[in-house]
Structure 1
Amino acid sequence: MPLSDFTRLPPLLTASVGDGLASALDTVAGRAAPTHGFLRYGWFAAALAAYGGHARTLTVLREGAPVLALPFAPTGPAALRIAAVPGCYWPFRSFPVAQDAGAEPFDVALDTLARHVNALRIGPVYDDDPALAGLRAAAASRGWVALDRFVAESFLLDMAALRAEGIWPRNSTLRKNRFHEKHIADHGALDWSFVSGAGWRDEAFDDLAAVERKSWIAERTDGSDAKFTTAGHGAFWRAAAADPVVAGMMWAAVLRIDGEPAAFSFDLNAGALKYAIANSYDPRVAKHSPGKLLYYRNLVRAIDDGITTVDWGAGDSGYKRVIGAAAGPAIRDWLFVRPGLPGMIARLAGSLWRRSGNRAGQLAANDLANAASDA
């Protein structure tokens, strides 16, 4: 019998919801786009440990292999049965999907999810996020209501394009940097170093927290948006570093003066993309631009390491455009509401959700802190 006589059956898709976080998260993250490779079991476990909550995981298998893993935790009044993807708010709150997953696993995921929740919040997340794209398509075909609210514009730096244009940084920039470095050196001996992987010991986090406690964050805010202090998000990043894969992506450039930490830039390197997450400096050397000096060194090292794009996330304090960053995808919060009465109510109340977003295109530090804790 010729092979043409056989009927090719569609791949078998199955879905299940289990209590807690599933080990399948690591498998799917390993098959996801490199930019989403950090969305592992350890990432979500760190978020739950730092911010609280108890998650379940929806897993979709194709021919027995996981292609989608969606952790979700209850949020808001229990009677509303709303769930949210847990995680630290930055770089974004999404979930891992295999690059070759296709559309069908999202259809199965929403059909399964409808038996457990009335609505799912995902975000803040980028407009081009692959998990978001899959959910939107599945929601449209299955009668779910998808509500979005604008959070901010993102900013991207195309490192490959800068290098292609010629010498970067420009000689004029390097001369200015050397001038400032000379004056910073008046305060003591300078040491420029990097931290990643196994280097993420308690002492490394303590150094970053020490800089934040001296910085404008401590002076002008309640400190809740600091990334490494006890009052800020320090518990999350220390817990995330327990996963050696995530720790290998975590990256810091540090400037010390006479052995004391004076400035840092903290990133997450995901494949050829660098997420610029935080930077801070000691105000006593502020007039000599220690943060900018450190970040130029960091970017040069990034090019050498094969980084082609830097994602600076929300907001533009000016220096991003000066270095060469341009507007990237918008960042939004999404609420997916299942069909039936919940969907009808969502359509009527959708304007309230949209108005609750940040229409100015910027997130204040306290808004970011709230976003990190409300899942």
Structure 2
Amino acid sequence: MTRAMPLSEFPKLPPALSLEVVEGLSAAIDTVAERAAPTHRFLRYGWFAAALAAYGGHARTILALRENEPVAALPLIATGPEWLRLASVPGCYWPFRSFPIREDAGAECTELLLDRLGREVNALRIGPVYDGDPGLEMLRAAAAARGWTVIDRTIAQSFLLDMGALRAEGTWPRSSTLRRNRNHEKHLGEMGALDWRFVSGPAWNEAVFDDLAAIEEKSWIAERTDGSDAKFTREGHGAFWRAAAADPVLAQMMAAAVLTIGGEPAAFSLDVNAGDLKYAVANSYDPQFGKHSPGKLLYYRNLVQALDHGIRRVDWGAGDSGYKRVVGAQGGPMIRDWLFVRPGPPGMAAKLARGLWRRSGNDVAD
């Protein structure tokens, strides 16, 4: 007599994988982002929609699904001449450009994405993005297995501040730093009443963004550059951040610290909080108050408050390593731009042009 085989003894079938291509941005981007690594949960529908609203472009979204649940979402916009069939991941450069992928996604999901991508475009640009980015690394592995040409160019080194570790050691912030800060605050207070504001969630409004823009318009950015890199002015990237704040989840992640002196906007710091990590996106100050370091005073207050609210690490991004090291930051992952080029003639051309792409980056030691 044969014995009935219990279900536990039946061989397990691999989960069913499928693909979906959506014209425009897919609402499933949020479903994926909610289960991505905490550091990447800002990569939401509203983040990509803000980029399209600010910078233009028409998106398509490739979704990888497992048992009909989306596990990876790759938004694309056309880049360059149409005949080249190039695409890039839309978004803002701050903190980086990447795409959401669930923490439990396997390599087979990005392999599926890449196979479909090869039918859509000749090449994909991802970045600037940090070394170790989950989506990037899984896509690189899939590309290596499928004969794609992958080329990187170096942009910069990031800087990280581990406030939690420094506080545990009892070395941050230093007592001497706090004494100097109190002295500066005393002198600033003689110039007008000091008001320290912290803005997040529903507190975002046009008046707040106008204050940030007013500070930038008086800062070194306006004096030394054409202003196109300003984060909050109409001529800069203000349209992106205003659009991003329309998503309540993103608005809660976006955190600004603002100092006014005698009712006049004097300094700001803008961050994106993701889990226990704070991305320091931008900070600036009005140089008329510069003698007493309003920007430094503000970001120390901002970081101490963040530490008290569960933020342990600060990602300072790239650039101006001097003041970041003074605060206690150390060198972090490299930031790079990546080209993924499909096999065949496009890949052969990419290999020939590899040197041009790499030389267009920056000479930064790894």
- For normalisation by structure 2, the TM-score amounts to 0.97
CA displacement, residues 85-127 of structure 1 (integer Å, 9 cap, x when unaligned): 0001110000000000011100000001111101100000000
Aligned pairs (5 A) from 1:101-140: 101-140=105-144
Q: Cα offset for 1:168?
A: 2.6
Task: Determine the structure 2 residue equivalent to 1:279.
Answer: 283
Instruction: Give SS of 1:114's match.
Output: helix
What is the RMSD of the two structures over their aligned residues, measured on CA atoms?
A: 1.0
- The answer to whether residue 18 in structure 2 is matched with residue 14 in structure 1 is yes
- Taking the TM superposition and a 5 Å limit, the aligned residue runs for 1:316-327 are 316-327=320-331
Q: Does 1:149 align with 2:135?
A: no
Question: Using the alignment, how far apart are the partners of 1:235 and 1:328 within structure 2?
Answer: 30
Distance in 2 (alpha carbons) for counterparts of 1:4 and 1:282:
68
Separation in 1 of the partners of 2:167 and 2:135?
Answer: 32
Instruction: Quote the Cα distance in structure 1 between the aligned partners of 2:275 and 2:329.
Output: 19
**Alignment counterpart, residue 303 of structure 1, candidates 291, 302, 307:** 307
Moved more, 79-88 or 351-360: 351-360
Moved more, 90-99 or 184-193: 184-193
Q: Distance in 2 between matches of 1:5 and 1:21?
A: 42
Structure 2 counterpart of 1:170, which letter? Answer: R
Deviation at 1:7, TM superposition (A): 1.7
Q: 2:71 aligns with which of 67, 70, 80?
A: 67
Write out the 4+ residue segments of structure 1 that deviate beyond 2 Å after TM superposition.
2-5
Is 2:257 the partner of 1:253? Answer: yes
Q: Is the 8 A contact 1:24 1:69 kept in 2?
A: yes
Structure 1 residue 360: Cα displacement: 4.6
Tell me which amino acid in the other structure corresponds to 2:292: H
CA distance in 2, matches of 1:59, 1:302: 35
Alignment of 1:326-341 (within 5 A): 326-341=330-345
The equivalent of 1:369 in structure 2 is none
Distance 1:345 1:168 in 2: 52
Secondary structure, counterpart of 1:115 in structure 2: helix
The answer on whether the counterparts of 1:20 and 1:55 sit within 8 Å (CA) in structure 2 is: yes
Counterpart of 1:31 in 2: which secondary structure?
coil
| Identity fraction in percent | 73
Give the secondary-structure state (helix, strand or coil) at the position aligned to 1:228.
coil
1:93 aligns to 2:100 (yes or no): no
TM norm structure 1: 0.95
The Cα offsets for residues 235-281 of structure 1, whole Å up to 9 and x where unpaired, read as 00000000000000000011111111100011000110000000010
Asked whether the 8 Å contact 2:154–2:335 carries over to 1, the reply is yes
Pairing 1:229–2:233 present:
yes
Answer whether contact 1:54 1:73 (CA < 8 A) is retained. yes
The one of 200, 205, 229 equivalent to 1:201 is 205
C-alpha distance in structure 1 between counterparts of 2:364 and 2:143, whole Å: 28
Structure 1 contact 13–61 (Cα < 8 Å) conserved: yes
Q: Does 1:54 find its partner at 2:21?
A: no
Give the deviation of 1:170 after TM superposition.
1.4
Task: Report matched runs for 1:339-350 at 5 Å.
Answer: 339-350=343-354
